[in-house]
Structure 1
């Protein structure tokens, strides 16, 4: 948690939302403990989600952020997966942080909704 995220073009809108989400205690504990896997919550068949891909990449990014001492982490793998499932966030254009946050909350819900 004591690290920042590299800005990959105009990704500050996403980085700020990701940082905020990483400080939600219940979400962080759920993802860092891989509870979504052990509880059988990962939904690979929900057509409204990403087949669990974005949830897994987001969990991996949080693990990286919270295992780091200081410095910055690159969200390049997460960003790549995000661009594959939603082309609105694939380019280098500035986007709205609130829209990104809404999208992330929705997709995390759908990826873990049985």
Structure 2
């Protein structure tokens, strides 16, 4: 997880996208009809924004030099909600984490 987060945080466009909260622009425009979809959402779909929010907070804290270990714990707590294999401190494959697709 750490390797992926380091790579993402040093990918300029991605870090800027999250750091400047550009991912929220679709919300501001009022994406109508999203909640009325006839297709059922996958489990945890309503919480997907939590991962993005926590990742954005983590990246902002790294880039503004306001990082503390609690930011990492908060992010991991959100990830574990939908990916129980990340409980504990065992090592995992970086590509598997990246491809989780929260």
The TM-score, its normalising length taken from structure 1, stands at 0.66
Query: CA–CA distance in 2 between the matches of 1:47 and 1:66?
Result: 33
**Which of 51, 54, 62 is the aligned partner of 1:57?**
54
Max Rg structure: 2
Q: Which has the higher helix share?
A: 2
Equivalenced residues, count: 89
Q: Give the gaps of 5 or more residues in structure 2.
A: 36-40
Aligned Cα root-mean-square deviation (Å): 2.5
Q: Where do 1:1-114 residues align within 5 Å? A: 14-40=1-27, 47=42, 49=45, 50-68=47-65, 73-74=68-69, 75-103=72-100, 106-107=101-102
Question: Which has the bigger relative contact order, CA under 8 A and spacing at least 6?
Answer: 1
Structure 1 counterpart SS, 2:16 = helix
Q: Give the gaps of 5 or more residues in structure 1.
A: 1-13, 108-114
